[in-house]
Amino acid sequence: MMASNETNETNETNETSERVSAVSCPAVFVAAPASGQGKTTVTSALARMLHRQGKVVRVFKTGPDYLDPRVLAQASGQPVDQLDLWMAGEAYCRQRLFEAASEADLILVEGAMGLFDGEPSSADLAALFGLPMVIVMDVKGMAQTAAALVAGLAGFRDDVRIAGLIANACGSQRHRELIEAALPASVPLLAAVPRDEALALPERHLGLVQAEEIRDDLEARFDAGAEALAAEGLAEALLSLPPVAFTPAPTEASAPPTWLAGRTIAVAQDAAFSFIYQANLDLLERMGARLCFFSPLADRALPACDALWLPGGYPELHAAGLAANTALRDDIRRAFAADLPILAECGGLLYCLDSLTHTDEQTHAMLGLLPGAGAMRGRRGCQGMQTAELPEGPVRGHAHHRSQSSGTPEPIAHGRRQRHPAPGEAIFRARRLTASYLHLFFPDNPAAVARLFGAQAVEAERPDSMNDMTVQTKESPA
């Protein structure tokens, strides 16, 4: 009898442990049949609508994106992280969702491109974590055809559930009625967003205009969108969805060692350099680094530091200001000559070259740490997921730029594309400067990143990566 009681108590303890390890929360994956349908406009309006009602809304953005997350963070009043099964890995995504579910009334995940585009796709992410998908579609110029497209999306895969349609840019009440009447019964019309330029988010090359540049204008657009969606009763519909159970990642328990303890990393951050993953900053701090931020546009001196990070951004829009700050340029040159570890990504690479020419044909002097000239090239660009094959170790990331460099030295390596066999972006090294068009996702390989910023006592073996548990899609990523 005693043994039976002990067994029952053990079972009850195990069941309690299992219950504690899962957290349930309503969640919605906001997807679209293509880019340019208004996903970010609608997601930010949804976030603001619920934020105004006192709800905690945690928003995520899929794929490598710097601009949308800052817009969504302003709309929701909460930090916004990226979720990407190839770049970040399943374990990383699982843990971020679990942590968000522990504090949120609703989780919103905004997709990238079309919901079935890419490998892994937005649909792969939604299927893996059981997230119901809401389709946002620009319905301008069609009515019943919108319903046909939604029906096709809903039936394309049996492991994805489409919870409804948000018809964006709807022209009238009659327009709405035609779409709603043609939809299959399994896919309700959740809302119709009116065709109104006051709701749309401003764009420029590479994506949306940075949130910091138009904060007040965004506030007006968020509130207008929130009011339009609230009138549709959308808050109640989303919050009443069956909650999704989120479990923690088993690998998250092992935090990275404090390889960067005692080291200060100066991070360029202003209107010219702002393409920074919050996850990258968080990892550097978890590894013990002290971060100090400075502006290459405004600051006259480089902060005292042990390493320097020049991230991507829009240096081409501020080339004259960067060139005019000769005091800081001289300071960075001295740091380079003193063999300070420097990481320069995309816009940071352009800043390190001899010169930069914008599309207006104006050329400005840059740092001159690396021979070569940068120039904008109109609407043609390069983008894609790649692995940076660094001497310190491979680190996954992506490229997205509309510039080109010429006259550069022989690269030490190239990025390895996710699927295509052709060499990816060139990786340059001069003294302790590492420069490339690639934007790195630091959590993919903390040990390599620690070495890149000058850590000495880093174990030879690569620690468990967040990519060790990457989901196997229909065609697994290389």
How deeply is 305 buried, as exposed, middle or buried, from its count of CB atoms within 10 A (0-12, 13-18, 19+)? Answer: buried
Q: Which residues make Cβ contacts (< 8 Å) with residue 39, sequence separation at least 6?
A: 30, 31, 32, 110, 111, 136
Angstrom distance (rounded) from CA 120 to CA 113: 12
Angstrom distance (rounded) from CA 229 to CA 235: 8
Q: How many CB atoms lie within 10 A of CB 212?
A: 12
Structure tokens given for 194: 């009116």
Angstrom distance (rounded) from CA 283 to CA 289: 9
Structure tokens given for 102: 């522990």
Is there a catalytic annotation at residue 346? yes
Angstrom distance (rounded) from CA 111 to CA 124: 11
Q: Which residues make Cβ contacts (< 8 Å) with residue 358, sequence separation at least 6?
A: 316, 317, 319, 376
Whether cis (ω within 30° of 0) applies to the bond prior to 188 is no
Q: How many CB atoms lie within 10 A of CB 459?
A: 10
Nearest to 24 by CA among 104, 85, 96, 80: 104
Q: How many CB atoms lie within 10 A of CB 199?
A: 24
One of 93, 170, 346, 352 is an active-site residue; which one? 346
For the four alpha carbons of 195, 200, 202 and 203, in that order, the dihedral sign comes to negative
Question: Residue 418 has what DSSP assignment?
Answer: S
Alpha-carbon dihedral angle through residues 328, 330, 336, 337, given to the nearest 10 degrees:
-160
Contact predicate 461/443, CB 8 Å:
no
Residues taking part in catalysis? 346
